[in-house]
Amino acid sequence: MTTAWCRLASVLLWAAMAAPPHAAAQALQQAVEQAVHTNPEVLAAGSRRLAADEGLKQARAGYLPRVDVNAATGRVRLDSHSTRAMGLADSSYASHLAGVTITQMLFDGFGVSSDVERQGARIEGAAYRVGATAEDIALRTVGVYVEVLRRQETVAIGMANLEAHQHIYDQIRLGADNGVLRRADLYQAESRLALAQANLRAEQGALQEAVTAFLRVVGAPPQGLSRPESLAAVLPATEREAMLVAGASHPALGAGQADIAEAEAARSLARSAMWPRLELEVGAARDRDRVLGTTDERSVMLRVRYNLFRGNADKARINEAGYQIQEAEQNLERLRRQVQESVSLAYNAYSTAQDRLASLEQYVQASDATRVSYGRQFRIGQRSLLDLLNAENEYFSARTAYVTGQYTQLASQYRILAGMGLLLATLQVAPPGEALMQAGIRSRPR
């Protein structure tokens, strides 16, 4: 078993272990599946893959014989010794010609085989890009899915905050109407009530924006969303392990490697022009005219063509292909760094969110305890109205921050899996059919 197969086997084994039966909520799985199979970006990538399939068929056609049929009809004006002897000097007559030629390429400097290999690598790259696009759309689906859930919860928090401020305002207005509290307290409570209303409206607007983003990515409005389960148990233990898996499984890197193979095959195709071309040609033709009568011609020819000079165009084309190989190699290195950066950022975001979550939970508990205590103390005159209102705002901010922290931690888990190229596998969502490669499309391994 080769090293490449060993790496692939280890990646598949890791993916199987990382995909428990309930890796994510069913609603999220359905949203991702719908997005992956209906999003225009994925469909466009799939069309590019299908176009590459047709390119391979065109390249393979070079192995087959070429059949050409020709026909001509018209008038011929002929003046020769033979026609003059026949009394047809300077005469014009009708001529009808029909023929067929079959040409079979025998040797072309490995041009057809190089083109077949180039198109095979193109198919492989297109298939990998379908997979990479599907992984990207899956991650974006997770992002908009989680954002809708987060905004739904922050809207609920905003509504609870508004109700709390409304309750305080009603109490202050009752006290002001009875002359127990000052009108200034009523104005202060009214201003904070207006702020709570504005905060709620802002959260509602953000929710509508999240719904719009969901519709754009998934292609359908969100319905019946539920919080996805945590994937912490299936994440790699270390950032280095995540990077190793990403290096072996991310489809973007596979596309980059296929681009190098395509460029190398293109250079072999360019070099084929430096070789002679050998063809077997079989032809048959019939010519009918009034002078010579009917003439039948049959031929079997072995033709050799060898270009000696074309203005150094062939050499320049070979050099061009060499630079394109270098470009593809550098693009692969760029992709490798991008994948490493993506995994590193996702892992750092996950670690940071995980560390912050405990503090944010404590922040909520402490602000809630402060709010309750201030409410009791305000009723017996030990706290001012400003203290009570500040405590309510602090509680609103704490709950919002905690919910945001929870969803940030959850989203970062999916980011890590997407950075490794294993998000669809973990969610148990089948990739588009165009992401699967045919067997034997490459004439020789890299």
Tens-digit pLDDT profile for residues 63-81: 999 999 999 988 877 666 6
pLDDT score for 180: 61
Pick from 444, 432, 440: nearest CA to 126: 432
Contact 196, 165 (CB under 8 A): yes
pLDDT score for 270: 94
Tens-digit pLDDT profile for residues 205-253: 999 999 999 999 999 999 889 999 889 888 998 999 999 999 999 999 9
The secondary element (H helix, E strand) that includes residue 336 is helix 313-379
**Residue type present at position 352:** T
- Bridge-partner residues for 97, per DSSP? 72, 287
**Gap between the Cα atoms of 97 and 72, Å rounded:** 5
Domain 15-65+121-274+313-434: CATH architecture, name and number where available: Up-down Bundle (1.20)
Pick from 276, 304, 305, 300: nearest CA to 101: 300
pTM, two decimal places: 0.83
**Gap between the Cα atoms of 100 and 368, Å rounded:** 93
Contact 145, 214 (CB under 8 A): yes
Pick from 351, 65, 127: nearest CA to 232: 351
pLDDT score for 3: 44
Strands 293-305 and 277-289: antiparallel
Which residues are CB-contacts of 208 (< 8 A; sequence separation ≥ 6)? none
Residues of the chain with pLDDT under 50: 1-26, 438-446
pLDDT score for 22: 43
Inter-axis angle of helices 111-177 and 26-38, nearest 10: 130
Over the range 165-198, which residues count as b (16 or more CB within 10 Å of their CB) and which as e?
beebbebbbebbeeeebeeebbebbeebbebbee
pLDDT score for 87: 61
Contact 217, 137 (CB under 8 A): yes
| Cα 224–chain centre separation | 27
Helices of type H across 219-312: 239-249, 251-271
pLDDT score for 263: 96
**Gap between the Cα atoms of 41 and 130, Å rounded:** 9
pLDDT score for 385: 81
